[in-house]
Amino acid sequence: MKKRQFIKSLGLGLGIVPFTGFTTTNKPINPDTLLPKKLQPGDWVGLVSPSAATADIMEFTFAKEALEALGLKVVEGKYLSERRGHLAGSDVERAADLNEMFGNKKIKAVVCIRGGSGAARILPLLNYELIKKNPKPIMGYSDITALHNAINAQTGLITFHGPNGSGSWNSFNADQFRTVFFGTGGTITYKNELEETDDLVIKKNRIRTIHPGKAEGDLVGGNLTVLTALAGSPYLPDFKNKILFLEDIGEEPYRIDRMMSTLMLMGVFREIRGFIFGQCTDCDPSGGYGNLTLDQILDDYLLPHKIPAFRGAMIGHVPKQFLLPFGARMSMDANLGILETRGAIFQ
């Protein structure tokens, strides 16, 4: 067998399409919403690493033990602990693990161990037809934003923006997981937890209403940096009549402004029905008076459109975070800082 033929057969054996550049259309397909199958205690879940490599070997143990403590059984991806530079293995290997988990009937959900960088590199290698035929939950955040948006744009599947496998599994996050995946299927309400304090004024987890009002639409978004890096690709969903949520970490305000301007130039703020900004961790200006504040930036881009908008939701690089159904029908109240599901998120 010739080398080219061997490589091609290897790729097909792993359940992936060999990379030949963008094989999808230049625009998202905008498919109908596809509900994943319900997760049950005792189910097998796949642990994968689509982005950056994990330096501390104990992180694999922590992730496995956390998922087991939630009542699940864990299968580790074949290439979970691989490394190529800053990445968790080659693009082909990382994509192969994801495709394998979606194709394996035994696996009922997919959990990403961490974010970092690199998930966008594997988007052309994912088998979206396979994913569409085997709808199951996939969970993660930060760089996993690339997967949420691509899978939604290409298949319509509802995915889950929430803790990574090796992230914080405090009681709040564990309760969120149980409510979303093992709950009754009723309405899920997301409202910031206000922690007790002996101060006269509660300051942590407060929301700020940017523009009052209520809205309803499918929920899309994620990490601002990762989201805007997908601009012009077929891996962003249509923003028409959607609720957009954003978060970020380690970005100075001028960079937030630049990325918000990208969304503005894409026409996003003209199309969405509502807007939520979660947490921007370590996003303070470097000093001096030459910076716009984050509040000024959000006001500049959102107030002209008079859509319901608020900031401060428990979304992002914070210990306690919401576990949100990406692509699901949601309602929001910008005055109260509340998000609620509207309809089923599972089959």
Could you list the active site residues?
142, 247, 317
Distances (CA, A) of 287 to 179, 185, 258, 296, 327: 42, 48, 18, 16, 38
> Rounded to 5 degrees, what are φ and ψ at 75?
-115, 125
Residue pair 123/154 in contact (Cβ under 8 Å)? The answer is: no
Residue 108: enclosing H or E segment and its boundaries? strand 107-112
79-to-19, 56, 161 alpha-carbon distances in Å: 18, 16, 23
Give the residue from 188, 208, 213 showing the smallest Cα distance to 339. Answer: 188
Q: How many other β-carbons are positioned within 10 Å of the β-carbon of residue 178?
A: 14
User: Across the strands, what pairs with 211?
Assistant: 309
